[in-house]
Amino acid sequence: MNEIKTIVSIVDYGQIRITLKEIMDKKNVTRNFLANATNTRFEVINKWYNGKVEKMDLDVLARICYVLECVPSDIIKYDGKK
C-alpha cells in the first residue's frame, strides 16, 4: 500500500504587520471615510485597520495609498526573525 508522507516544520521566519491604523489615526481619517473614498467595503477596510488581512489585494492597497498619499512600505512592515 502506498503511504503518503508529509513533513511539518514550524520555522520562525518573522511576520508581516499592517500599520494602517497608525497612519489613519495620525491623519484623522475614519474607516467609514476611507471605505467610501476608496470605493471599498467597510469590512475590508476594517480588516486592514485591525491588521487582520489574510490575503492582500494589491488593488485595495493601491487605492488606500492613493487616498492617504502614502506608499505600501508605510503600511506593510516586516518584522524579521529574532
pLDDT of residue 14: 82
Residue 54, domain member (yes or no): yes
* pLDDT tens, per residue, the chain with 82 residues: 678 877 677 777 788 999 999 999 999 999 999 999 999 999 999 999 999 999 999 999 999 999 999 999 999 999 986 5
Residue with cell 504587520: 17
Q: What is the CATH number of the domain that holds 65?
A: 1.10.260.40
Per the CB < 8 A criterion, the answer to whether 24 and 37 are in contact is no
Predicted TM-score (pTM) of this structure: 0.82
pLDDT of residue 11: 74
pLDDT of residue 12: 78
Total domain count, the chain: 1
pLDDT of residue 82: 59
Residue 56, domain member (yes or no): yes
Beta pairing partners, 17: 77
Residue 42, domain member (yes or no): yes
Helices (H), 1-82: 20-26, 31-37, 42-49, 58-68, 72-75
Residue 55, domain member (yes or no): yes
Show the domain range for 68.
Answer: 16-79
Residue 49, domain member (yes or no): yes
C-alpha cell at 22: 497608525
